[in-house]
Amino acid sequence: MPAARPARPYFSSGPCAKPPGWSLGDLDTRTLGRSHRSPLGKERLSTCITLMREMLQLPDTHRIGIVPASDTGAFEMAMWSMLGERPTTALAWESFGEGWVTDAVKQLRLDPAVIRADYGQLPDLGSVDWSNDILFTWNGTTSGVRVPDGAWIDPDREGLSFADATSAVFAYDLPWDRIDVATFSWQKALGGEGAHGVLILGPRAVERLERFVPDRPLPKIFRLTKGGKLIEGIFSGETINTPSMLAVEDAIAALQWAQSVGGLKGMIARTEANAAALDRIVATREWLDHLAADPASRSKTSVCLTVAGADAEYIKRFTKLLEKEGVAFDIASYRDAPPGLRIWCGATVDTADIEALGPWLDWAWETLQ
């Protein structure tokens, strides 16, 4: 049994590890018990939006809104409000991408073109027809496969690009000029709390919203326009429904921590160091490998691994051993993915903890032989 233990054994891919040094007592609690529509409540929501804009280096042309129901709510809000004007293409290479396919086919009944790839693979991005609206996940959280960059997105596209970027924002340098709609949640790369999503709209998405009226009923929490105009208040701190101000304060604290480690560049550097540390662990163990075979499209946040000969029952025993020792929590692969391990390498994890995890993986492997 190894002597050294990860100081913070939190490697879950969502909700993810809190930022190092995080303490509930450090949060600003002035908004608790106050209305989110009070001057203070709106100021703190606006502060959160401003910090996200600064951190992401987002151009003024893009709007940021805090919306209900995590990344799923944000992405479905965009789908329900904007799709249907032109044909739709949905890309799927893991479970969340398949979820958007299901929504487009069974709920919105758009008859989309679907381009699929197996877990661990990336579809042929060159086959995408950019006269269509395109739905895709930037970083497949459940497969460990990501798009390598934004070069495949046509700068002269007729359709809109819809990027579910929940495991990518704050971990990669995203090309905002190629992204019309992006969604994420604080619970991933920021280590924030769940329940709230963030919706980012580029100017082409706003133009679509103000021009196109979908022929479907829209629930109140999906409505982004009124009288043919964007509801600007959503993007300045006037949320559609009541947010948790504790979660907002937690997000503000996480963003301030991110600033303290060098902003976006610092977050990317921490993520890359963690992924490189895990790569070294995988490279020196014959029984361990990446599910994503191509390093160019391999996630640096939700890293998915295969274990030689393992089935779902074996992985359950493997991860329970580690959890019982308090050295790694929640590292089993996603329920719909091939049996294996999934280790979060985002910026809120310390590289030293990834390095300390390696010998414990050996211990669990040897214990079960």
Coil/strand/helix, residue 106:
helix
Asked whether 141 and 119 are in contact (CB, 8 A), the reply is no
Instruction: Report pLDDT for 64.
Output: 98
Tell me, which fold does domain 27-258 have in CATH? Aspartate Aminotransferase; domain 2 (3.40.640)
- Residues 342-349 have a mean pLDDT of 98
Tell me, which fold does domain 263-367 have in CATH? Aspartate Aminotransferase, domain 1 (3.90.1150)
For 88-128, the pLDDT digits (tens) are 999 999 999 999 999 999 999 999 999 999 999 999 999 99
* pTM (predicted TM-score): 0.97
Instruction: Report pLDDT for 132.
Output: 98
Instruction: Report pLDDT for 300.
Output: 98
Cα angle, residue 206 at apex, residues 205 and 211 outer, rounded to 5°: 100
Instruction: Report pLDDT for 155.
Output: 98
Q: Which two tokens stand for residue 3?
A: 């002597």
Neighbours of 125 (CB within 10 A): 16
For 199-240, the pLDDT digits (tens) are 999 999 999 999 999 999 999 999 999 999 999 999 999 999
Computed over every residue of the chain, the mean pLDDT equals 97
For 139-188, the pLDDT digits (tens) are 999 999 999 999 999 999 999 999 999 999 999 999 999 999 999 999 99
For 24-63, the pLDDT digits (tens) are 999 999 999 999 999 999 999 999 999 999 999 999 999 9
Q: Beta 113-116 vs 133-137: how paired, if at all? A: unpaired
Q: For the chain, which residues make up each domain, given as ranges?
A: 27-258, 263-367
Instruction: Report pLDDT for 345.
Output: 98
Place of tokens 């907002």: 248
Instruction: Report pLDDT for 249.
Output: 98
The residues near 330 (Cβ < 8 Å, ≥ 6 apart) are 10, 11, 12, 13, 319, 323
CA distance 76 to 59: 24
Instruction: Report pLDDT for 287.
Output: 98
Neighbours of 320 (CB within 10 A): 12
Asked whether 57 and 264 are in contact (CB, 8 A), the reply is yes
Instruction: Report pLDDT for 90.
Output: 98
SS (H, E, C) the chain: CCCCCCCCCECCCCCCCCCCCCCHHHCCCCCCCCCCCCHHHHHHHHHHHHHHHHHHCCCCCCEEEEEECHHHHHHHHHHHHHCCCCCEEEEECCHHHHHHHHHHHHHCCCCCEEEECCCCCCCCHHHCCCCCEEEEECEECCCCEECCCCCCCCCCCCCCEEEECCCCCCCCCCCHHHCCEEEEECCCCCCCCCCEEEEEECHHHHHHHHHCCCCCCCCHHHCCEECCEECHHHHCCCCCCCCCHHHHHHHHHHHHHHHHCCHHHHHHHHHHHHHHHHHHHHHCCCCEEECCCCHHHECCCEEEEEECCCCHHHHHHHHHHHHHCCCCECCECCCCCCCCEEEECCCCCCHHHHHHHHHHHHHHHHHCC
- Residues 271-286 have a mean pLDDT of 98
